[in-house]
Amino acid sequence: MGRGNFLPILAATFIILVTTGFILFRYRLIGQIIPSPSPNPTINETNGDEQILILLPQWVPQAKWQPIETTDSSFRDKQLTGIRRSATLIKEDDSFGRFGDEKYFTSNGWIIGDLNADMPGGSTWNYIKNTNGKQRILILSYQNRSLTPNPNGGVSANCPCNFDLHAFLSDPF
């Protein structure tokens, strides 16, 4: 191999090394610029109240969550537009972790609303948040679909039970 053939091989090797270095450095730089999400972010650490619906699968991981969808809902005398997320799960009791954690929501700027309805096999409650003169409403609910009527009146549940979970977050109004 002569000296004339060595220079193109050296140039090609140099170009490959520079290109590889650039690609590796670029991905390392992007990883430093884009922070990875924390394992249990709070509402204030995220990009808005919509994160509540995004975090629901972390709060109740055993549930089968549907994708978030845009929907309308009536609340008192208002027709609201917002987003909704629903899930189903089979469980022995009606505790759902942070899904019903009043302290969590109130510590993140939500106040307890006056829509609180407990019934056999289900419950509905809401929170209200005022930001910059706009109001948002968050409605949470669950229903036990495993209830059977008793012959002497009332209902009973033989668990494990089938539950439906629902969360609705209004657009600001």
Same domain as 134, residue 49: yes
23-49 per-position pLDDT tens digit: 544 444 334 333 333 333 344 433 478
Residue 138 has pLDDT above 50, yes or no: yes
48-81 per-position pLDDT tens digit: 788 889 989 988 888 999 999 998 887 777 888 9
**DSSP code of 89?**
E
160-173 per-position pLDDT tens digit: 888 899 999 999 98
Number of structural domains the chain divides into: 2
Same domain as 126, residue 57: yes
Domain that holds residue 17: 1-36
Same domain as 142, residue 91: yes
Same domain as 145, residue 92: yes
Same domain as 90, residue 15: no
CA–CA distance, 137 with 128 (Å, rounded to integer): 5
Same domain as 26, residue 48: no
CA–CA distance, 54 with 40 (Å, rounded to integer): 12
Judge whether 126 and 135 are in contact, CB under 8 Å: no
Task: Give the pLDDT confidence score for residue 7 in this predicted structure.
Answer: 59
Task: Give the pLDDT confidence score for residue 162 in this predicted structure.
Answer: 87
Banded pLDDT at 149 (limits 50, 70, 90): confident
* Burial zone of 163 (CB within 10 Å; 0-12 exposed, 13-18 middle, 19+ buried): buried
Same domain as 106, residue 159: yes
